[in-house]
Chain A
Amino acid sequence: MTTSNPSVPPPAVEKKQAPKGPRKLTKAEIRATEAKTKLTSPWATGIAIVMAILWTIPTFGLLVTSIRPQSSIQNSGWWTWFTNPEFTLDNYDAVLFGSSTGFLTYFVNTVVITIPAVVIPITIALLAAYAFSWIEFRGRDLLFVAVFALQIVPLQVTLIPLLSIYVDVGLAGSFWTVWLSHSIFALPLAIFMFHNFMKDIPRSLVEAARVDGAGHVRIFFRVLLPLLVPAIAAFTVFQFLWVWNDLLVALTFAGGTPNVAPLTVRLAELSGSRGQDWHLLSAGAFVALIVPLAIFLFGQRYFVRGLLAGGVKG
């Protein structure tokens, strides 16, 4: 949050330069201006609005359904709510505090799963990316290619081997299985992404710090980390959403143990094995959705910029 707002710099720079007379625009600025004109045309705006509405309708329908009584949910579509408005919080009450569902426990489980599953890979990836970017060692390129290549391994392939390893070392049934699995699956992409961001930082900056007397630890924490905040924020949002919404990994490693299973597993059961509760599905889904939605709204500027920054070079 300490760095500048992404949308502000170009106009600010132009304003500052203005008194010195016109200057040649850089390639990136020309591209930015072109993109801006294209994106602000009435047509583009119109299409964007239509898309936004279309994309939001299902979510809105979910919200409306979740506040309707059970009988209405089972007998008519959510759009009839407009002609026959009803309002009840019974569904939420049942989902969160009902004895048969116990969403609150699962909600806590999800939080307990998600936070370490975001923090662990990012920490390791940052350290690895630093080593790959700024420390010379034998076999560095080969190792980096190997890490990069791991991205193509589908995670489904690893499920059974991992599960048997967890059982062998006695981790089965604990949060560790999910934390470790998510970390393993996230690391190749995280290392690759952070490596690219670190490579974009001018070499002379690191060299200046070295001449100023900084060792690796100081360079990492005092020089590079502050500059990587946007990248870290972007990947945090990315990984958070992924882990929070994950069902496959959670179901495989924690599905059998209710005291570590996350929301998504419970949500799947609502509609599946205990079909009689399906009217609670919408309220449950909305509970599960609210945190990622908040995170996304909060971090979306980092999210968008972070994903673009590596790809488009000025």
Chain B
Amino acid sequence: MATVRFDKATRIYPGADSPSVDKLDIDIADGEFLVLVGPSGCGKSTSLRMLAGLEEVNEGKIWIGDRDVTNLSPKDRDVAMVFQNYALYPHMTVADNMGFALKIAGVDKSEIRRRVEEAAKILDLEPYLERKPKALSGGQRQRVAMGRAIVRSPQVFLMDEPLSNLDAKLRVQTRTQIASLQRRLGVTTVYVTHDQVEAMTMGDRIALLKDGILQQVASPREMYDKPANVFVAGFIGSPAMNLLSVPVTQDGAKFGTHRLDIGRDELANAGSKVVVGVRPEDVEVRTDNDGLEIEVDVIEELGADAYVYGSPVSKDIHLEGSDEEGERPFIARVDGRNVPRKGEHIFVFPKPQHIHAFNQETGARLI
């Protein structure tokens, strides 16, 4: 068990102009489950591979416990990694796959057998120990890859999108299993995924990256309630948060006809416009013609709830992320038994406690 610390770790690929991972600073506590998440190409896998020793660190340092591992080779770092394609050795049986690292470490045969069987028991792999990987299903292969990591009882588990090759149902199941297994073993884990749902459900904390730059590290709850900037706000949550650019006037920021409860001090540095964010479930549909007028385009019925997809009637207001390919819809969650009709005009405004406001230029959070 150990802590992990990225200390301004930077990776610049040869021939690239900008760093793939730029001055990454994260402290990971002992036994913590940290999820690295972000869109593809954001540097999350690179960060993980830097920690594994598979990728060179050009600047900064990486610590595991109180050891500086920046220039150590993977075998000297005492980390175990689960790969996206599992990377099982095709010519070895499941037992040999799981025991390979121990065999290299010179652990004695009966001890290897004991630890492999122990791990197999945890993962329900006992009947398959003598099989080759090609005779296993996708889920079983995934468990073997997990087993290979568990058997070593390393300082840190590294997982690189281990669920992305499973079908949807199995993925949800395995997600819970991995999370509970990690809590049970108490091994510090760094987990990479592009799926924000996985990140929210599994991690003690989430680190969100974009273009190699760390956007925010926080617990899933904090990430959801207090996103540090516009990007985090748009990335976390499904359906995504509504982000509107609204003008700041003398009275403050206005959301349609409704004046938003944002303090003058916060608005002082914001310029002439602010980006206001409101999650679909924090939208109130009003009947008193107060708020932002929306024309309903599509209704998605989910039973208990329904999602209303609409567009602002006023042509001056656009949702962030709209471009030539089309306007982003405004999304509101409404009571499933009281759904507006298609084409109807409704008035929406955010519940006062759940308004997010961001600087138009920098994207940084105001309140």
Tally the A-B contacts, defined by beta carbons under 8 Å: 60
Surface stretch bound by A, among B3-11, B87-95, B117-125, B353-361: B87-95
B54 and A214 contact, CB distance less than 8 A: no
Tell me the minimal C-beta distance from B356 to chain A in angstroms.
39
Q: How does the 8 Å CB contact mask read for B98-115 relative to A, with 1 for contact and 0 for none?
A: 001100110000000000
A223 and B75 contact, CB distance less than 8 A: no
Which residues of the other chain, B, contact A38 by a CB distance below 8 angstroms?
Answer: none
A136 to B132, CA, bound (A): 31
Tell me the minimal C-beta distance from B69 to chain A in angstroms.
13
A214 to B89, CA, bound (A): 13
A207 to B104, CA, bound (A): 15
Closest 8 CB pairs of A and B: A212-B101, A208-B87, A204-B87, A213-B75, A226-B91, A204-B83, A213-B104, A210-B74
Q: Is B241 an interface residue (CB 8 A)?
A: no
Which residues of the other chain, A, contact B88 by a CB distance below 8 angstroms?
Answer: 208
A210 and B75 contact, CB distance less than 8 A: yes
Tell me the minimal C-beta distance from A166 to chain B in angstroms.
41
Q: Is B50 an interface residue (CB 8 A)?
A: no
- In A196-218, the 8 Å CB interface with B consists of 202, 204-205, 207-215, 218
Interface size on B, residues (CB 8 A): 24
Which residues of the other chain, B, contact A205 by a CB distance below 8 angstroms?
Answer: 87, 89
B83 and A208 contact, CB distance less than 8 A: yes
Q: Is B81 an interface residue (CB 8 A)?
A: yes
With A204-B83, A204-B84 known to touch, is A211 a contact of B75 (CB < 8 Å)?
Answer: yes
Q: What are 27 inter-chain pairs, A to B, with CB distance below 8 A?
A: A3-B91, A204-B85, A204-B87, A205-B87, A207-B52, A207-B74, A207-B81, A207-B87, A208-B87, A208-B88, A208-B148, A210-B54, A210-B75, A211-B53, A211-B54, A211-B74, A211-B79, A212-B75, A212-B80, A212-B104, A212-B148, A213-B75, A213-B105, A214-B104, A222-B100, A227-B90, A227-B91
Tell me the minimal C-beta distance from A141 to chain B in angstroms.
12
B83 and A214 contact, CB distance less than 8 A: no
Q: Is B73 an interface residue (CB 8 A)?
A: yes
Interface size on A, residues (CB 8 A): 19
By a beta-carbon cutoff of 8 Å, the part of chain B in contact with chain A is: 52-54, 73-75, 79-81, 83-85, 87-91, 100-101, 104-105, 148, 152, 158
Which residues of the other chain, A, contact B152 by a CB distance below 8 angstroms?
Answer: 212
Out of B81, B89, B91, which one reaches A211, CB within 8 Å? B81
Q: Given A212-B75, A214-B104, A218-B104, 14 other A-B contacts at CB below 8 A? A: A3-B91, A204-B83, A204-B84, A205-B87, A207-B52, A209-B89, A209-B100, A210-B73, A210-B75, A211-B80, A212-B104, A213-B75, A213-B101, A227-B90
Q: Is A2 an interface residue (CB 8 A)?
A: yes
Q: Closest residue to A20 on the B side, CB-wise? A: B137
Tell me the minimal C-beta distance from A212 to chain B in angstroms.
4
Tell me the minimal C-beta distance from A4 to chain B in angstroms.
8
Q: Closest residue to B100 on the A side, CB-wise? A: A212
A218 to B106, CA, bound (A): 13
Which residues of the other chain, B, contact A202 by a CB distance below 8 angstroms?
Answer: 85, 87
Which residues of the other chain, A, contact B87 by a CB distance below 8 angstroms?
Answer: 202, 204-205, 207-208
Q: Closest residue to A210 on the B side, CB-wise? A: B74
Which residues of the other chain, A, contact B79 by a CB distance below 8 angstroms?
Answer: 211
Which residues of the other chain, B, contact A223 by a CB distance below 8 angstroms?
Answer: 89
